[in-house]
Chain A
Amino acid sequence: MAEFDIEPGAARDSVLIASGSFDNFEQMSSSLEEIITENAVSSREDLNLIGAQADNGEESSSKAENGVEPEEEIENSVEWTSKKKHIFVLSTAGKPIYSRYGNEDKLAWLFGVMLGLFKYSRDSIKSIHAGDTTYVFLSKKPLILVAVSKTGESVSQLTLQLNYVFNQIVSMLTLKRLTKTYDERPNYDLRRLLTGVDRLIDHLLDFSETEPAFTLGAIQCLPLALPDRDSISKAIKDACSKIKNLVFAILLGNNRLITIVQMKKYHLHPMDLHLIFNLVLANESLKYSESWTPFCLPRFDNSGFLYAHVSYLADDCQACLLLLTVERDVFFPLSGAKQKIVEKLRINGGMEHINASLASLEESALAAGFPEVRHYLYKCKSTAQFYQPAACPPYARDRIKLMELYKRAHHKMHYSSRSLKLSFERSADEAVFSWDTKGFELYAIFEPLIETSSAIMSVSKLLNWIKKREDKLFHLNAYTF
C-alpha cells in the first residue's frame, strides 16, 4: 500500500475543526461573549464607520418567502405510508412541530402516540426495530425527534440526521430562546416561530441523502491551484482586516468550499458549515440581493446569533460570500467590504479562477485513469475535508444508491459491535473497499469481478494520485483576520 509521511490533504493549520463523524454533539468551540469581550477595544471607531456608510447601500430582505403547500390529504394514503424515511419533530408536550411528509396538523394523533411510546419508556427509548423498519427517538430538550426509516441506515446514522434537524432549528432560534420559550410556556406551538424553517429542514434531509459530507463529517473544496486559492483568501483577509468582530468569511460555489478566512483562535465545525451550505442551497432568493440574517451556529455557540451578510460575488461569478459577525447592525460596513473583495478578486484574477473551476466538469475516476474504480471517497481526518470524483454510471443517476453503499461501509468501519480498519466486500453488483487509518478514511467502489490484489494496487495508486493533487483538491493554507 502507499506510504506517506503525511496523508494527502493534511495541513499545518486546519480551517475546520477535525471531527469524528459522530462526536459529542453538545460541545461548542467558542463563546460569543468571549469574542465581544476580547474585541471590545476601539469599538467607537466602528460606530463612526457605521454612521458614515449608513446611507450607501440598500436594505434587503433576509428571509425567504414562505412556501405554501397545497393542502392534500395524503396522510392516510399508501403514498404516505410507503415513504422510505419519515422525520418528525414534536415538543415534550406532544405538539407537532415538523413532519417531513404530510400536514403535521392532520397527523396530530400520531405525535401523541410517539410521545406515548417515549413516555412509556420513561424517556429512555432509543430505537425500535420491526421488520425492515427502524424507529429512532432522539430526546433533545425541549424537543423530541423521531425517524421512521426503511432505508437500512443504522441507528447512529439516523440519530446523526436527527441531530442535524435539531441543529437546523437551533440555528434559527438559538438554544437559549428555544429553551426559554418552553420553560415559560410548555404548551407553545413552536411553528409560530419557525415559519419557513420547514423548507430548510426538507432541503437538509433531501440534501443529506445524496451528499456524503454529512456521513463523513467533512467538507469538499472547489478544486483550485494553491496560489489561486491563497490569493482569494488574501483578498478577503485584506478587505476585511479593518472590520472588528468579523468572525468568519466563507466563500462557496456550487456546493463546494472555496475558502474560509477566520478570526484568530476561532474555528468552524463542519456540522455548522453544512448548515450554512444548506442555507445557501435552499434559498434561491439569496442570489438576487444582499441579505442580512441572524444565524446561530450550534457547534460554535448555541446560545447566541451571529449575523450574516450573504451575497453572491457578481452576476458573472456565482460564488456565495458569507460574512459572519457578532454585531447585529453592520450590514453597510460589510456590504462595503464585499465590494472591496469583489474589486480585488477582479484585479488579481481570483474571479476568473473561480469561474474556470466552477465551469469545468468534475473529473470521474475513469477520466483520471482509474477505469476499474467506479467511485470513491477520500477523507483527510485532521482537516475534516474530503474529495470525491464525479459520479459515473451506474451511479450517475442514482446518487441515493451510491450513498447507501457508502453509509453501509461507513457504519461497518465505525459503529458495528466490532469496528473494522480494513474491509473488502464483494456483492453481485459491486465490490466495496473501506480503509480507516489514523490520518484518513478511504472508501472505493469497484466493479464486482475485480481481484483483491488489483483492488489493493488501485487504492495505492489512487492515494498517490490524490497526494500529487492535494494542494489543488484541499484547502491547505488557513488565513486569519
Chain B
Amino acid sequence: MHVLDLDYMLGLLPILLGYLPLTLEMAGAGMLAALVLACLLAVVRVQRTPGLNALAMLFISFFRGTPLLVQLFLFYYGLPQILTFLVAINGITATILGLTLHFSAYMAESIRAAIVGVDRSQTEAALSIGMTQGQLMQRIVLPQATRVATPTLMNYFIDMIKATSLAFTLGVTELMGATQKEAAGSFLYFEAFLLAAIIYWIVVEILSWLQRRLEKRLNRAYQR
C-alpha cells in the first residue's frame, strides 16, 4: 500500500507556493475587469439602452451558455487564426481575458437583480430632490445593490480562483501547471495534487472569512 510521503509534500510546498502569486494575480485581474464589465452590462440591461441591451443579452447568453474551457481554447488557439494581431497573445493574457468575459456574464445578471431589488420608492425620492440618473445610481442604488450582490460576487471570485487552474491547458505554469510538472517528475501524483488541493482550499477559506467580515460591515446600516 502506498503511504503518504509527507517529506515530499513538505519539500514541494514552497515550490508550489511560489506559483500561488500568479494564480492570485490572474484571478485578481480577472475579477477587477469582470466587475467593471459586469456593472456596465447590468446598467445597460436595467436601463434597457436601445441597441446595447440586445448586444448585452447576446453577450451574456453566449458566455453563460458555453464552457469556460471552450472559450479559453477559442481565444488562445482559435482567434489568432482569424485576427492575426492576436498571435502574440500569451496564455496568461488569454486566461485573464477568458475569465473576465465568462464571469462578467454571470456577475452582470446578479448585479442586475441586485439593482432591480433596490426599493423603487428610494429611486423616486432621489429623483424628487433633483438628482440626475447618474447621481442616483452612484449614491443610492449601487451602494445598496453592492450589499445585496456581495455574497454572490464573492462566490464568483472564489470560483474564478479555482478556474485559473484551467490556464495550464494554455501552457501557463501556475499552481496547477506547476503541480502537474512536479508530479510527472516524481510520480507522486497523489501527494502533489492533494497538496495543490489543500492550497486552493486554504486560499478559499481565507476568502470566505473575509467575505463574512465584509458582509457584516455592509449590513451595519440595516440592523434594527
Whether chain B is bound by chain A comes out as no
- Write the residues of chain B forming the contact surface with A, with a CB cutoff of 8 angstroms: none
